[in-house]
Structure 1
Amino acid sequence: MAKKTYTDKELMQMAIDVMNKSVNEPRPDGKVPPKVGAVLLFPDGRIETAYRGELREGDHAEFTLLERKFPNENLEGCTLFTTLEPCVERNPPKVPCCRRTTNARIKKVFVGIEDSDPTVDGKGIKHLENHGVEVKMFDREFQRIIEKENEAFLKQALERKRETEEEDLRTPIELPVTNYDSSKFSDIALEKFIKESSLDFKASDETFLEYLADFGAMEWNKEKKQFVPTGFGVLLFGKNPRAKFKNAVLKAHVTYGNQKIEPKDFADALVLLPDQIEEWLKKVLPLSKDTSGFKRKDVPDFPIEVLREAIVNALVHRDYEIEGAKCEIKIDENKVIVTSPGKPLPAISLDELNTFEAPSLSRNPIITYAFSLMDYVEEKGFGMKTFKSLNKEYGLPIPKYTFKEPFLTLTFPRTVEGVKETIGKETIDSLSSEELQNFEIFREKRPISKSDFVEFTGLATRTAERYLKEWTDKGLLIKVGSGPSTKYQMYE
């Protein structure tokens, strides 16, 4: 009998279903326990599950699964799905769940969401990765469900994190900035943040400064008896962020043929940049005629909302601690390139970025939170839906992520030549403009069936078959599977 196979999504959903069975023990200290579910996939396809408090009050789901249910079984080769980052500290002689996992020699773990509690706060994932475990995050659609079910726990965890955070464990950007006070903030930036976040404050209110301190943009200094901006606060709202952080700038370059537009630096407070960049894009992008309405009107020949989202993501998710590295946008006749310092976080792969299925994980949660309040980004998101729909919504080629130390680069091809440059294969040069347009579906980096290809292109079946054979022979595609279930995927 053939073993049962499950998709990653099915196992993520299974972990959530189990999570919802959690039995939360009563806590006299008022601390809200998390709901946690765990699923263990064995090499032979067998599935076992556990949830918090299943066998005994207060027992963690991973402990129940790995130690209570399978104390003597070899779990090497199993894959673990857990809805919450495994714990790092337990009172002796208890062993934390992250160590139980590595002790069991499990080499692949899917984690639902990060645990903001200061005893964990990313250290569980780091422990797994340091011990050779491949860590992947749940898809964003499942993360939202877990966050909603654990809303009270996550709120308390964030409060505990703020209360116990030690300065020597924080990066320079998280720390308060010496000799700075609220006068270093831009009134324009603060007013814009208040207005677009629909907050009921005035910039001069002491309660507003408390609000900024609540999410990490300021910190109370007991000696000075005043609120002091943190590095993140300076980046978000500072009058001159580059005075403190030299690399806090986005450099923009535009070249069309022999015409070179004057380079521009965007170096104001981060909350001011999205609108400034949008206005600049409207001025520098070539115009084309929009005839969709009764009146013809000039519109930019590339969707500004797509570029805006890409640039905002670069600003939000970049690594601000890499000295001398700056965000850039370069526009020419063939392509638009957005670069951002910092490699993808370990739990996010280039493949996940290029299939536009990257999970929720943020390098700069304080910046992300502020931008999400202003509706500039989905909290912790990457604009994946916007980029994925580029071909369907606008008839444009899909973009591609690449990484070359220390920059993550997102390239938007605009022309046939741009697509050829982006794909970067010699054999692609032989394809015509029409063929490249038909080839676009394979750049989503997922297996495509012949019927999917016919539906996408509108080609006759025999013509589609000819294309598939030619592209396979040229090494542009590889076959996945065989017989009627054969699919095709772009060769990397």
Structure 2
Amino acid sequence: MAKAKYTDRALMQKTIEVMNKSINEPRPDGKVPPKVGALLLFPDGRVETAFRGELRDGDHAEFTLLERKLANENLEDCVLFTTLEPCVERNPPKVPCCRRTTNARIKKVFVGIEDRDPTVDGKGIKHLEKNGVEVKMFDRDLQRVIEEENKAFLKQALKRKKETEEEDVRSPIENPIANYDRSKFSDKALQKFINESNLNYTINDESFLEYLADFGAMEWSQSKKRFVPTGYGILLFGVNPRAKFKNAVLKAHVTYGNNKIEPKDFSDALVLVPDQIEEWLKKVLPLSKDTSEFKRKDVPDFPINVLREAIVNALVHRDYEIEGAKCEIKIDNDKIIVTSPGKPLPAISLEQLNTFEAPSLSRNPIITYAFSLMDYVEEKGFGMKTFKTLNKDFGLPIPKYIFKEPFLILTFPRTTEGVKSVIDSKVIDSLSNEQLSYLEIFREHEFVTKAEFVDYSKMADRSAQRLLKDWVDDGLIESIGAGKSTKYKLKD
């Protein structure tokens, strides 16, 4: 019997279909149980599934699958898909699902979404990774489906998390700041947040302070009988965030030829920075003529919305606890570089970032939440679709992420020389501008067939075949498969 073939995405979708069969068992404590689906892919292509409550009320999907359905089978080479981060605590003699997974010697797990319940809250993923399991997250659009189906559960989980957090396990950014009060917030920043989030408050409403406390920007102090800003609150709304967090700044540098524009620091409250950046970019980027309308007008020669998106991502997802490390943007004739302190979180790979479809996983969920309300970012995701279409929409090269301790670096090439800076190959220097434009096809599409390459490049069939062969021989691209099913991809 031929081995069945599935894509990772197809299995994610099937796991969600299984999740939707979950049985909502009655609970006297009022807790909303999550909908959870689990799927196991065997090396021979066989697939087994389970959902929460399938065989007995309250039984977890992973337990049902691994222990009740497949207890006597060897699962060592299987891949597990689960819509919710596996649990880490169960009342004895029950075994947590993350431990059942590692006990089964499963080495690869696809997780739908994080479980924000304080008993889990990232610890399930950490347990798997600590025990040598490769963890991948579901595609972002599929995560949204899971979140929507589990809206009530996630709301309760976040509330429980807030109620059980203790200062001694939180970072300085999460903790309330002693001797700080409402006066440390910028009225301008608060008003901007209210306006752009469409909130029905005034900045001095007590109910507004309660709202800020609900999502972690403030905290009620029983001893002081007032709301106290947290570190996240100061970063988002503070009059002078750098007074408390010295690295809370975006440093900007521009150099064109021998002309160097005065460096600029952006160190206001985070909610004010995106608009400040946009105005600055309009001033420093060279202008070109836009003739798409009847009246010609001067426009920046690089799309402002793309750079704004890159910078907002850098500010939102950076690691604020790395001392001395700051966000930066550097612009020169050949490229634009955006750097952000902190390596990608373990469940997000550089490869995923460079497909510009990174899944939902945030280092700073409170900042991400505030920015999502203001429509600056997609909540907890990396909204980078504009990066992927740069070549098609603007004729510009595709950007690339690399990690160089301690910075995540995003480079936007603007010229041929700029492209050379993001492709690690000795062959790149010998390519013509036209060939470099053909190479962008492989940077925009992960896999390309010969027919697709001919279609995208508009080359003659034989010329395209010859170029593909030369690039494979030179180690610039690699071929996968054989015959008409052969696909080509940029070599890592």
- Report 1:224-263 matches (<5 A): 224-263=224-263
- Report 1:86-485 matches (<5 A): 86-444=86-444, 446-485=446-485
Counterpart in the other structure of 1:26: 26
SS at structure 2 position matched to 1:38: strand
Cα deviation digits, residues 398-451 of structure 1 (max 9, x gap): 000000110000000000110011113221111111111111011236221011
Letter matched to residue 362 of structure 2:
S
Letter matched to residue 30 of structure 2:
G
Contact 1:319 1:363 in 2 (8 A): yes
Counterpart in the other structure of 1:486: 486
Letter matched to residue 486 of structure 2:
T
Letter matched to residue 144 of structure 1:
R
Cα deviation digits, residues 312-355 of structure 1 (max 9, x gap): 00000000000000000000000000000000000000011111
Contact 2:449 2:487 in 1 (8 A): yes
Separation of aligned partners in 2, 1:342 and 1:455: 40
Separation of aligned partners in 1, 2:23 and 2:383: 36
Structure 2, unaligned runs of 5 or more: none
Separation of aligned partners in 2, 1:101 and 1:390: 41
SS at structure 2 position matched to 1:315: helix
Instruction: Report how far residue 466 of structure 1 moved.
Output: 2.1
SS at structure 1 position matched to 2:312: helix
Separation of aligned partners in 2, 1:133 and 1:471: 35
Letter matched to residue 466 of structure 2:
R
Separation of aligned partners in 1, 2:118 and 2:421: 46
SS at structure 2 position matched to 1:423: coil
Separation of aligned partners in 2, 1:49 and 1:10: 14
Cα deviation digits, residues 11-66 of structure 1 (max 9, x gap): 10111000000011101111100000000011111100000000001100000000
Separation of aligned partners in 2, 1:259 and 1:41: 58
Instruction: Report how far residue 168 of structure 1 moved.
Output: 1.2
- Report 1:75-90 matches (<5 A): 75-90=75-90
Separation of aligned partners in 1, 2:385 and 2:299: 23
SS at structure 2 position matched to 1:339: strand
Letter matched to residue 31 of structure 2:
K
Counterpart in the other structure of 1:61: 61
Contact 1:194 1:201 in 2 (8 A): yes
Separation of aligned partners in 1, 2:135 and 2:466: 40
Separation of aligned partners in 2, 1:385 and 1:354: 11
Separation of aligned partners in 1, 2:281 and 2:383: 18
Letter matched to residue 27 of structure 1:
R
Please, which moves more after superposition, 277-286 or 384-393? Answer: 384-393
SS at structure 2 position matched to 1:12: helix
* Alignment RMSD (CA, Å): 0.8
Contact 1:445 1:490 in 2 (8 A): no
Letter matched to residue 104 of structure 2:
A
TM-score, reference length from structure 1: 0.99
Instruction: Report how far residue 356 of structure 1 moved.
Output: 1.6
Separation of aligned partners in 2, 1:3 and 1:414: 46
Cα deviation digits, residues 224-277 of structure 1 (max 9, x gap): 000000000000000000000000000000000000000000000000000000
Cα deviation digits, residues 53-112 of structure 1 (max 9, x gap): 000011000000000011121110111000000011111111110111111111100000
Separation of aligned partners in 1, 2:14 and 2:37: 9
Instruction: Report how far residue 214 of structure 1 moved.
Output: 0.3
Please, which moves more after superposition, 56-65 or 163-172? Answer: 163-172
Counterpart in the other structure of 1:44: 44
Contact 1:337 1:410 in 2 (8 A): yes
Contact 1:25 1:57 in 2 (8 A): yes
Letter matched to residue 446 of structure 2:
R
Contact 2:357 2:383 in 1 (8 A): no
Separation of aligned partners in 2, 1:315 and 1:384: 14
Please, which moves more after superposition, 462-471 or 133-142? Answer: 462-471
Counterpart in the other structure of 2:12: 12
Letter matched to residue 301 of structure 1:
D
Instruction: Report how far residue 462 of structure 1 moved.
Output: 1.8
SS at structure 2 position matched to 1:277: helix
Separation of aligned partners in 2, 1:376 and 1:280: 17
Structure 1, unaligned runs of 5 or more: none
Contact 1:348 1:358 in 2 (8 A): yes
Separation of aligned partners in 1, 2:380 and 2:157: 18
Instruction: Report how far residue 357 of structure 1 moved.
Output: 2.3
Identity score, percent: 79
Instruction: Report how far residue 467 of structure 1 moved.
Output: 1.6
Separation of aligned partners in 1, 2:445 and 2:122: 30
Cα deviation digits, residues 458-486 of structure 1 (max 9, x gap): 22212211221222222211111111111
TM-score, reference length from structure 2: 0.99
Separation of aligned partners in 2, 1:70 and 1:472: 44
Contact 1:310 1:383 in 2 (8 A): no
